[in-house]
Amino acid sequence: MKRFFPDCHTHTRHSKDSQATMRQYCERALEMGIDYLAFTDHIDLDPADFSFGYYNFENARREFEETRDEFGGRLEIAFGVEVSCQSSLAEEARREIEGRPYDIVIGSVHILDGLGGDISSRENTPRMFKEYGAEAIYRKYLDEVEASIEQGLYDVIGHIGILKRHGTPYLGNLDLAKFDDRIERIAEKLAKADVALEVNSSGLRQPPAQPYPDIEFVKRFIHYGGAKITVCSDAHVPENLGRGVPEALEMLKDIGVNEVTVFKNRTPRQEAI
């Protein structure tokens, strides 16, 4: 029996850091045997973000409807967004989300208020770690992740641990044990909020060589009753579509997860893996 193959987080030309069309992704998805594909382009709300103001809802929706007309009978596709979470911009995020026909809304921390710049940027992350230090960066990141759960705006919390992407060399000497209670609390809060946890396979092809978050965090989430888990590649080019997703699904199976979550009209659905 074929395993269900989702990819719940991808970026197209409606994100400033991608040039791909939805059609290109769909063609690739059919070649790969993907069952569910979500387009989740960036909404960036901070003027400090290089793609601030880039997303255009009407253009993205128009392309999605055209693509759905062409591929909808062969592939389940979903229209979504990835909103950059900042506690200081929660109301701006709400205005961007409410009243729009999204299938899935991901909330992800990219920018740390007061510390400047994108924590997943190859150029900016080293500067931040050198200027503020690993402990301050890590603590502020956890603050923002926790706040993103409390805001109650999102269906999914995206790529927890993304600051390891370019921050791994700077985190090596940090005593992470001192943050263990915070991480435990975040896992519990996410599970009890009934929000989905994203397992983002892009970390498997990046320096951490593990998904975001790592499997130990997933275990904590499950321990507290978390049942909704999405899996994705976070592809910005069609060549990365689905990349690492089978491996991530296998990791989940190994810890006893037998279902993953997909969304339609912001309503979750469980699929056996």
More confident residue, 173 or 133: 133
The reported pLDDT for the residue numbered 199 is: 98
Tell me which CATH homologous superfamily contains domain 6-272.
Answer: Metal-dependent hydrolases (3.20.20.140)
Looking at the predicted structure, is the pLDDT value of residue 137 above 80? yes
Looking at the predicted structure, is the pLDDT value of residue 98 above 90? yes
Mean pLDDT of the chain: 96
With tokens 């062969």, the residue in question is 74
Cα gap 139→155, rounded to integer Å: 24
Candidates 6, 8, 159, 162; CA nearest to 80 is 8
Provide the whole-model pTM: 0.97
Residue 263: band (very low, low, confident or very high) from pLDDT cuts 50, 70, 90:
very high
Candidates 127, 196, 193; CA nearest to 160 is 196
State pLDDT tens for residues 216-239. 999 999 999 999 999 999 999 999
Give me the percent of the chain exceeding a pLDDT of 70. 100
State pLDDT tens for residues 56-88. 999 999 999 999 999 999 999 999 999 999 999
Residue ranges of the domains in the chain?
Answer: 6-272
Contact in structure between 195 and 228 (CB atoms under 8 Å): yes
Residue 116: band (very low, low, confident or very high) from pLDDT cuts 50, 70, 90:
confident
Q: What is the mean pLDDT of residues 24-30?
A: 98
Looking at the predicted structure, is the pLDDT value of residue 113 above 90? no
The reported pLDDT for the residue numbered 1 is: 67
The reported pLDDT for the residue numbered 176 is: 83
